[in-house]
Amino acid sequence: MKKILFASSETHPLIKTGGLADVAGSLPLALTGLGQDVRVIMPHYQAIKNCEPGRYLCTVRVNNCDVNLLETRLPDSDVIVWLVDYPPFFGAPGNPYTDENGNPWPDIGDRFALFCRIVAEVAMDRAYLNWKPDVVHCNDWQTGLVPALLSLEHYRPATVFTIHNMAYQGVFPGSAFAALNLPGQLWHPDGLEYHGMLSFIKGGLSYSDRITTVSPTYAQEIQTPEFGYGLEGLLAHRQHQLSGIINGIDTAVWNPETDTQIAQTYSVKNLTGKLKNKTALQERLGLPVWSDLPLFGLIGRLVEQKGIDLVLSCLKEMTSLPLQFVLLGSGDKSIQVRLQDFARLYPNKVSVNIGYDETLAHQIEAGADVFLMPSRFEPCGLNQMYSQRYGTLPIVRKTGGLADTVVDTLPTTLADNTATGFAFSEATPGALMETIKRSLLLHTNKSLWHKLQRNAMTQDFSWENSANHYLALYQGI
């Protein structure tokens, strides 16, 4: 049994701004299910909810600050969560990165530097909790100083650093290094220094024993200038310590056999219920009920990263084809306006729903035939996995986690029953349009389509599967 300290700036369902929280809320549970001793450590934000109030454990003094440690648990589990309680930094309303008006915290570097120091103290059992981890698993730039600080310790635990998105790096002016009172031996180009600035993420990339990211393809991509954001050289240098492990999905929440938010449950053995979901979705959104017409769905942020500009370029031609298109999302205001214009011009073909609605998201996954996800980059992605579980075949661009979780429908993959969707390489409207037409062609062959649905619905995207890969990594250090 391994003792694992899991350090994260956010954890679902206590507080969430993005996918990191889902990982921090699910992976420790899955590892505990595999018999490991896991503790989560995170800041004690004012906005934390859905857990028992933390009970006081101890006070740790770092950098002239007295910091309390509180203990609670992940809801409905035995997984212990340690909350780093320092009201001057974490006691104000807002989320981990911005205040209640959406402005970034001006002292965000100070906040996460303090958090990292506490994680290092706990990891060395200097908080006297009588528990010393074998592995400290850090996540994203907010925990990047932990491997750096632990590198200066004797008899330290092993360190793993997971990149959830290379675009966020935690870079501060060089003067911040002295202001944060960090150990001088960490300030050099192979350490925390990045072109004269202080880089938190470099602490994780330079000093951790193993680096992981959230898909095997993304692990390759971040070693290139296009995806490495200036750190591709360092990542290529450490490629033998770098690997990709796909995130899991919550198979209890996203399960067409038990989903209470959809019109009719269904299973891989009985797909008739899926048609009822399509009819219910068309009725809810005021689209004509055409059972034979392929229904395309898209759920996501309306930003260029998600390839929404490619979809906009294809929409005119899509409205001339035998299909309907349903979209749920929000983001770039100019994109929202253009999408709403299409919905007004083609009310029988296009339904655009701005915002986020969890129930509608489930109903689109269940009711659509095809799911569009033409991202320009996607470290892991979740909707392509939800879609396959619901027998909704995804159209994806071959990038990051999309390339690793969707098998393109080709003569060879049809023959060996591995095909689960459609994929294209070039981030161009033409390549997307060609793939849409290819899916329309295959949709006319009902027995073939059902075969693809069955392939997709039997994939294992569970957290247990992912946790086994992490456990193998921990044991290999």
The secondary structure of 408-460 as a DSSP string is B--HHHHHTT---BEEE-S-SHHHHHHHHHHHHHHHT-HHHHHHHHHHHHT--
pLDDT digits (tens, 9 = 90+) for 189-236: 999 999 999 999 999 999 999 999 999 999 999 999 999 999 999 999
| Mean pLDDT across the chain | 96
In CATH, the number for domain 3-248+464-476 is 3.40.50.2000
Contacts of 11 (CB under 8 A, 6+ apart): 21, 24, 25, 40, 42, 74, 81
393 neighbors 320 (Cβ within 8 angstroms): no
- pTM of the predicted model over 0.75: yes
Give the model's confidence band at 81: pLDDT under 50 very low, under 70 low, under 90 confident, else very high.
Answer: very high
Q: Which residues partner with 197 through β-bridges?
A: 194
Find tokens 């454990």 and name the residue.
57
- CA-nearest of 207, 214, 193, 170 to 9 is 170
396 neighbors 423 (Cβ within 8 angstroms): yes
Residue range 110-127: average pLDDT?
A: 98
Tell me if 3-248+464-476 shares its fold with 272-459: yes
What's the distance, Cα to Cα, between the start and end of the chain in Å? 14
Percent of the chain with pLDDT strictly greater than 70: 100
400 neighbors 378 (Cβ within 8 angstroms): yes
Radius of gyration of the chain (CA): 23
DSSP-based three-state secondary structure for 212: strand
Sorted by where each begins, the domain ranges of the chain are: 3-248+464-476, 272-459
Give the pLDDT score at 102.
Answer: 86
Cα 252 to Cα 265: distance, rounded to the nearest angstrom: 13
Give the model's confidence band at 18: pLDDT under 50 very low, under 70 low, under 90 confident, else very high.
Answer: confident
Give the pLDDT score at 19.
Answer: 86
Cα 334 to Cα 315: distance, rounded to the nearest angstrom: 15
pLDDT digits (tens, 9 = 90+) for 44-54: 999 999 989 99
Architecture of domain 272-459: 3-Layer(aba) Sandwich (3.40)
- Strand-by-strand arrangement of the 350-354 sheet: 350-354, 324-329, 295-299, 370-373, 393-397, 422-424
Q: Where are the beta strands (DSSP E) in 16-87?
A: 37-43, 55-62, 65-73, 80-85
Q: Which helix (H) or strand (E) holds 213?
A: strand 210-213
